[in-house]
Amino acid sequence: MTTLNKPEVLESIPGTWVCQFYDDFKDPTTLSNNYFHPFGDSHWRENPANKWKWDAYSGKEIHWDFTCSSIINDEEGSRLRTCVYSDWFHRIDRLATKQRFGFGYYEAKVRFKGAEGMHAAFWILPDSIDDSKVYPPGTIPGGIEIDVVEHRLMDGSRKRIDHIGNTATHWSGYGKNHQSAAYKEINIPNGGDHWCTYGVLHDASGIKWYWDGRLVNQTIVNSSTPAHIYFSTEVNESGGWAGMDMSSYGTRAHPAGYVECCRVGFWTLSQVTAESGTNHLLQKPEDALGKEAN
């Protein structure tokens, strides 16, 4: 499997960057070896709890379903596809790396196919986020969500915005203490349905977003809590920020919407000491280099 030693974004940052994780989806076993489904690996028939909610507008239940994620291998090459599709239910998925990562540089080459009522994303999330108190912007001890890119075909007013993506970070949970920063809508180079390289540089000073090598956003919010890399699709309940839900999102073989990724990686900054000649990773906590999810 090919690895990228140093993404273009890192060329201007002094130091030695070491690739800790890389996937180009050419190995057909990568989904079972390197990823898991946080909402369950069982189909709804075996696990009815995978039901998420019911959509009154389309008249369909929405289910988390592992069959939405697959490896596509055709004349365009190998790539991951996480889609939304419908039969008698709407089916969506969250796919995450088994490994967790901390400070470093995250990057994926991604494209989207949008459909009204759904959104897709490439993002980063720990196993849990501390929601016990409101933490001010800065270093967050309880973990954060980083949205590298979220994509919608339409907004809540049903305006077509498939040429736009958004960034954001969230912390202090998703309830009464919820906090967020760095929400920004940004034009995607060549549009959402074309390949674009999305990355975030995350360290103790904050987060910087790079799209096709261009710095597009930044914040002082940061957290050393190790997190998984996610690819996901979701459907709104009775309409919302992505427009109204459709009656059908196509079939699994021909889905109406998806996020596709042809490569994803994570790099950490190392410092080579002249005395020992060994690398010391500037990454904390210690298990951030690859502890797997339960």
User: What b/e string do you get for 87-112 counting C-beta neighbours within 10 Å, with b at 16 or more?
Assistant: eebbbbbbbbbebbbbbbbbbbbbbb
Q: How confident is the model at residue 280 (pLDDT cuts 50, 70, 90)?
A: very low
Average pLDDT over residues 69-84: 96
Q: How many CB atoms lie within 10 A of CB 140?
A: 20
Average pLDDT over residues 182-204: 97
- State how far Cα 18 lies from the chain centre: 21
- Give the 3-state secondary structure of residue 253: coil
Average pLDDT over residues 145-161: 96
pLDDT higher than 80, residue 44? no
Q: How confident is the model at residue 201 (pLDDT cuts 50, 70, 90)?
A: very high
- Predicted local distance difference test score (pLDDT) of residue 238: 62
Average pLDDT over residues 26-48: 83
- Predicted local distance difference test score (pLDDT) of residue 29: 95
The lowest-confidence range among 4-18, 19-33, 46-60, 274-288 is 274-288
pLDDT higher than 60, residue 275? no
- Give the 3-state secondary structure of residue 33: helix
Structural contact between residues 63 and 44, judged by C-beta atoms closer than 8 angstroms: yes
Residue type, 168: A
- Give the 3-state secondary structure of residue 79: strand
Average pLDDT over residues 33-37: 96
Question: What is the percent of the chain where pLDDT is above 90?
Answer: 73
pLDDT higher than 50, residue 279? no
